Chains A and B, each alone.
Chain A
Amino acid sequence: MAETFILIPGRTSKQGTSLNEGKYTDGYLEEINTVQIAGDDMQRLGLIDGDSVRIWNDVGEIVVACKTARGDELPSGMLFISYGDKSSQLMGGETHGSGMPDSKGMDVFLEKHSGSSNS
């Protein structure tokens, strides 16, 4: 059953280094196609690292791999994904007169996905 989360796309060291190696390298693609989930949430949803999850909102839908967030980096109810193609598929075109779409703190639904991620 789907649960609601707040998704925070952002930068990581690995994203920055693999970006320079190339946007078509395995390292970069793996980084932007993996969502981090708090340990408590992983356990409650019956997820293990590498499982596929489906994330969606009223704008779009993505299927990505998941992994447990380091230590207490993420509070329960929050997701983190490296900013990139996948996170942008959940961004709407509305900028509320600012030029900037809502790119962080997005309300999304998440559920376990039985297939593989579409990376």
Chain B
Amino acid sequence: MSTLESSTSTNAAGELKIVEDATCTFCGCVCDDMELTVEDNRITKAKNACVLGKAWFFNHHIEDRPEATIEGKPASYEEAIEAAAEILLNATYPITYGLSDTTCEAQRKALAITDWIGGIVDTTTSVCHGPSGMAFQGVGEVTCSLGEIKNRADFLIFWGGNPAESHPRHFTKYSLMPKGEFVPKGRKDRTAVLIDVRKTKSAKAADIFLQLKPRSDFELAWALRGLAKGIDIDPKVEQKTGIPLDTLRDMMDRMKAAQFGAILFGMGLTMTRGKHINSEAVLSLARDMNQHTRWVAKPMRGHGNVTGADNVVSWTTGYPFGVNLGRGYPRFNPGEFTTSDVLARQEADAALIIASDPMSNFSQPARDHLRSIKSVVLDPKLSETAKVATVAFTTATYGINTPGTVYRMDDVPIPLRPAFESPYRSDLEILKAIEHRIREHQLAGVQ
């Protein structure tokens, strides 16, 4: 089933609708086995959803907000499209940012706009697993699908993440609990290790918890790499990492004895000092382990279609994020063309922000600059970023109101099956209209 019509049913009174195989787009798990009950344009039941998924489905109903605002005042859709096009056309160094909570179709359109205006396109990846994206380019990625992990993995290492709270169904649907072809007893056939600086809720689910000292992921990964290659490691590694060498030796013996191991790593690696070299160290460890047995390493992705953003930007420009199209060809340079930097250095003079709230979670210098420049913001909900926008559009929510494609954290594309229609336009419709208006202006200028 790939369309709304084929996956939904309505009772005779037309008041109750069941949407089967709906897709949750709250987190990177992108669980596509939801059964939604819709009553009067509200989702009242979300069977199979986790606590985060239920909150996602139950709280994205239709809000009474203007379709568009200019300088905070309600405006017509047409006026807002014209104002948005003018802002982007008149900018010298515009930046397009966000994109991880919208469809791939909308992401493509945002990229097209950025290309027409010669701006930077960047996604929330740059403040998520962007460093891992850099690490992929440095050392590669021994990868697999979540289906392979479900069916094969008998040794799991969760490193620098807390799936019990951030990806609640990862354990039960993809990694730890499910019975698989080569792990028929499910949890009993798997060994799970949690490596983290905090003893989080995820620790209860693990067989082994290694409490790491802060900012020593790199040293731990390299100690394990050494052990994987049979190199003697200085016992002083415990002083740095907090983990005794004997414990590491024991873990390496178990890792070598596994049939299929997977390291699933979170932002404890990418957000901490070291960043991309932390990710490189863990990716290299997985690669080294293939001298002994099958090992993979996968980043745990946060937003529902952040992986789609990586894919769309990569297949369009050749690079995954932080891409400058100002010279008519793509240039990639994290630190130079990434949004946090471009804003903090006060370089960008306009912003197109889609489904993201940098005013709530960027560094203070970046926020201060974003507040000072003209911006066009698309978001289903009111946010600090929408509040400071020059032009703001209220949008339909992807997956709940609009169809399209998203990518699960393992790069598997999944169709969306919306539950009910929104009176607001989708990101795709709005971006199409902005692009159309920009092209009209540009072509008129040529003539």
Kindly state whether residue B345 has any CB partner on chain A within 8 Å.
yes
Contacts of A95 in B (CB 8 A): 334-335, 338, 340-341
Asked whether A93 lies within 8 Å of B366 as measured between CB atoms, the reply is yes
B200, B276, B360: the one contacting A98 at CB < 8 Å is B276
Chain B nearest CB, measured from A48 CB (Å): 22
A16, A23, A59, A105: the one contacting B381 at CB < 8 Å is A23
Interface size range on B against A: 35 or more
Chain A nearest CB, measured from B121 CB (Å): 13
Asked whether B361 lies within 8 Å of A83 as measured between CB atoms, the reply is yes
Asked whether A98 lies within 8 Å of B362 as measured between CB atoms, the reply is no
Encode contact with A along B274-285: 1 for CB under 8 Å, 0 otherwise: 011000000000
Kindly state whether residue A50 has any CB partner on chain B within 8 Å.
no
A89 CA to B340 CA in the complex, in Å? 13
Chain B nearest CB, measured from A20 CB (Å): 4
Chain B nearest CB, measured from A106 CB (Å): 9
Chain A nearest CB, measured from B173 CB (Å): 17
Kindly state whether residue B421 has any CB partner on chain A within 8 Å.
no
Contacts of B60 in A (CB 8 A): 20
Encode contact with A along B50-86: 1 for CB under 8 Å, 0 otherwise: 0110111011100000000000000000000000000
Q: Is the interface of A mostly helix, strand, loop or mixed?
A: loop
Asked whether A101 lies within 8 Å of B131 as measured between CB atoms, the reply is no
Kindly state whether residue B197 has any CB partner on chain A within 8 Å.
yes
Q: Hey, which bits of chain A sit against chain B, CB under 8 A? A: 6, 8, 10-13, 16-24, 59-60, 71-75, 78, 80, 83-85, 88-89, 91-105
Known pairs A8-B198, A16-B52; list 17 more (Cβ under 8 Å). A11-B165, A13-B201, A17-B51, A17-B55, A20-B52, A23-B381, A23-B384, A84-B360, A91-B363, A93-B343, A93-B365, A97-B335, A99-B334, A100-B275, A100-B338, A101-B127, A102-B273
Q: Hey, which bits of chain B sit against chain A, CB under 8 A? A: 26-27, 51-52, 54-56, 58-60, 122, 126-127, 130-131, 134, 162, 165-166, 168, 197-201, 211, 214-215, 267-268, 270-273, 275-276, 302, 321-322, 334-336, 338-341, 343-345, 357, 360-367, 381-384
Contacts of A92 in B (CB 8 A): 363, 365
Asked whether B273 lies within 8 Å of A105 as measured between CB atoms, the reply is yes
Which residue of chain B has the shortest Cβ distance to A36 in the bound complex? B198
Contacts of A89 in B (CB 8 A): 364
B199, B367, B383: the one contacting A73 at CB < 8 Å is B199
